[in-house]
A and B are shown apart, each in its own frame.
Chain A
């Protein structure tokens, strides 16, 4: 599994561990995790771009394209925003995780 520069703030293990408690094909599980991942990426990028001044958007995107795994991408963002961006990412990730766990609960076959 490849790493992304914000992975340490978005602990997905809680979701994957929860999925592991259900009977399902490996392929199905991988697809569901991929969709969850997509959703998290959209939200994390949205939060970063919301706080990052527009003049730095292009540089940020180039860093994401060149070195998506590198912690220096987050360092760049931290140096340009006036908020605790790590905390903001953690908050949005926690909210999305809660929503996803609720969806999993809803899909449980009774």
Chain B
């Protein structure tokens, strides 16, 4: 005789419910907006007190990072608490570059993001000379690098714009996305980059070429006012030109080269980034685009390596705070 099961099918076989997911990009943006608003309120109500905190190199929102730095540096031990090694006025009087000594890349990025957001306009647009100079100074303080919107008389139509995700570029004839190692799902462009293949064949590829494709950007050279007039010169000047791209919202920065032209103005975007560049910058909102700063790197001796930049090149690896 048929016996009715005591439990439902789902109970008997325990079908697991998939864990819920979050639109983290949306959440991050909305929380960041709230944080900026609360910072603005704090600063407008209590400017002198906030200035005192910031003169010691501490952001009001970064109290925990400051507490962590102090613990790391052993500030909490014994009499050091009672006799701080450096008084506030002395520290406040140090050159700004001396204050950019960080205990970790995330600390450096947090500080960079904070400083950039204080000088950038709320929406992307071409920056004026003062804004560009301020950012050049901030980038030098942070990374010990010489980066500017204008280099050797050349500049893009904007240095603060929206970046969108690009595909891999074919590095040599017959190249395919499946041999690019990472981000295979991003695919590969059907045609070559604006400056052609990196090498005539796979055998002629060098580590340098592999790096250049990995960390490349597309910029809108075709819309430069003098592109047609100075085509030969500008084409050579922009080919594999080294640039620094920074996501001002998280302070992540990466060195890349110009290896393609685009995107089209109709997309509303100003720059394109390789899958590796976009993944590092975490510069993808729901529409796979977001604001970045793109400055040329003055590196005539080719000393600045491509890829993520997480330390000060003049001072070495992230350093502990001033003690």
User: Chain A residues in contact with chain B, CB under 8 A?
Assistant: 1-4, 21-25, 28, 31-32, 34-39, 41-43, 45-46, 49-50, 57-58, 60-62, 64-70, 99-100, 103-104, 106-109
Contacts and interface: CB of A to CB of B under 8 A. Distances in A.
Given A2-B68, A22-B22, A58 B52 contact: yes
Contacts of B84: 66
Contact of B32 (A35, A60, A106): A35
Contacts of A24: 21-22, 24
Interface stretch (B59-67, B159-167, B299-307): B59-67
A25 to B, nearest CB: 8
A106 B21 CA distance: 12
Given A45-B42, A60-B49, A107 B81 contact: no
Contacts of A37: 61, 64
B49 A61 contact: yes
B64 A2 contact: yes
Which 7 pairs from chain A and chain B are nearest by CB? A38-B61, A42-B38, A107-B27, A2-B67, A2-B68, A68-B67, A109-B21
Given A4-B63, A66-B81, A49 B45 contact: yes
B48 A67 contact: no
B35 A46 contact: no
B108 to A, nearest CB: 14
Contacts of B60: 41-42, 45
B58 interface: yes
B28 interface: yes
A28 B23 CA distance: 11
Contacts, number: 137
A6 to B, nearest CB: 9
Contacts of B39: 38, 42
B70 A39 contact: no
Contacts of A66: 81, 84
B67 A39 contact: no
Nearest to B46: A49
Nearest to B58: A65
B35 to A, nearest CB: 4
B31 A32 contact: yes
- State the main secondary structure of chain B at its contact with A: helix
B122 interface: no
B31 A46 contact: no
A42 B30 contact: no
Contact of A103 (B31, B52, B250): B31
Given A28-B24, A41-B61, A3 B49 contact: no
Contact of A46 (B30, B42, B70): B42
A65 B53 contact: yes
Contact of B19 (A22, A34, A35): A22
Contact of A109 (B23, B30, B34, B53): B23
12 contacts: A2-B70, A24-B22, A28-B28, A32-B27, A35-B31, A36-B31, A38-B35, A41-B63, A45-B49, A62-B52, A106-B30, A107-B26
Nearest to B32: A35
B19 A21 contact: yes
B185 interface: no
B92 to A, nearest CB: 11
Contact of A22 (B20, B52, B62, B76): B20
Given A39-B38, A60-B49, A104-B22, A68 B30 contact: no
A32 B32 CA distance: 9
A58 B41 CA distance: 19
Contacts of B205: none
Given A39-B35, A41-B63, A65 B56 contact: yes
B88 interface: yes
Contacts of B322: none
A4 B60 CA distance: 12
Interface-central residue, B19, B46, B48, B49, by most chain A CB under 10 Å: B49
A32 B81 CA distance: 31
